[in-house]
Amino acid sequence: MSTAANSQTFERLVRPHFDRLYRLAWRLTGSKGEAEDLFQELLIKAFGKLDELVHIEEPGSWLSRVMYNLFIDEQRRFRRRRLHTVEEGQLPGEGLAGLPGPGGPDYDNQRLEQIRRLDAALAKLSDEHRIVVLLHDTEGYKMTEIQELTGVPVGTIKSRLHRARARLREILTADGTLS
C-alpha cells in the first residue's frame, strides 16, 4: 500500500473516535498539554500498527486501551511534564475562566469557584481513584468499559469509585461546596 493510501486508511479508521479519545486523554492526564501529548503519542503508535489496526473490529475500544496503556507505561514521562510555570495559568480550572455561561456573571463566578474547588478536591485523590471517578461519573463509562480499558476487576473499580466519592464528599463538605 502506498504512503498516501496508508494515510487515508488510517484516517478513516481513527478520525471517528477523535473526540472520545481526546476526552479520555484529558481525563487521564488532567491538563491540555499532557492530553495533547498523549493523543499525539497514541496516533503515532497506532499508525505504526496500521497492519494490525485494519483488522480490529472495534477500533475505538482498541485505541482507548492503547491510550490507557501508553499513559500507564509512560506515566513517568508524562509526569515530568507536570512541571509547569505558575504564571502560565495552567493550574486546574484557570483555563475555564473564559467559558461562556448561561446565568450571567454572578452565576459564572459561582460556577468557576465550584469548578476550582472540584479541581482541588480531585487533585487530592490518587490517580487510580481520580481516573475511575472521572471516567464513570463524568464521562459516563460503564463499569465493564472501565474494566476493559484498565484491566482492573469490576469489584475493585466499585471499591475505588466508592472511596473516591467518599473522599470527594469529605473534602467538598469541609470547604463548604457541599452542605
Partner 1 sequence: MQTDEMTNEDLEIQKLLKDYPMPAAEAGFYDQALARATHEGSKRQRNRWLATGFGAAIAAGLAIWMIGAIFLANPDIPAGDPSLPGITMALEEPHTVNLVFASARALDSATLTVSLPAGVELAGFPGQSEITWETSLTAGKNVLPLTLIALTPTGGELLARLEHENRDRTFRLQVTVT
* Contact residues for partner 1, defined by CB under 8 A: 3, 6-7, 10-11, 14-15, 18-19, 22-23, 26-27, 32, 36, 39-40, 43-48, 75-77, 79-88, 91, 95-96, 99, 114-115, 118, 123-129, 133-134, 136-138, 140, 142-143, 158, 165, 168-169, 172, 177-178
CB of 140 to partner 1, least distance (A): 8
Q: How far apart are CA 163 and CA 16, in angstroms?
A: 34
Helix (H, G, I), strand (E, B) or coil at 106: helix
CB contact burial 74-109 (16+ within 10 A = b; e otherwise): eeeebeeeeeeeeeeeeeebeeeeeeeeeeeeeebe
- CB nearer to partner 1: give 96 or 174: 96
Q: How far is the CB of 123 from partner 1 (least distance, A)?
A: 6
CB of residue 43 to partner 1, shortest distance in Å: 3
By C-beta, is 43 or 54 nearer to partner 1?
Answer: 43
Q: How far is the CB of 57 from partner 1 (least distance, A)?
A: 22
Helix (H, G, I), strand (E, B) or coil at 95: helix
Nearer to partner 1, 87 or 106 (CB): 87
Rounded distance, CA 146 to CA 157, Å?
8
Query: Given the complex with partner 1, which of 19 and 57 has the nearer CB atom?
Result: 19
The CA angle 33-38-43, to the nearest 5 degrees, is 130
Nearer to partner 1, 45 or 65 (CB): 45
Q: Nearest distance from residue 141's CB to partner 1, in Å? A: 9
Cell, residue 137 = 461519573
User: Which grid coordinates belong to 62?
Assistant: 482498541
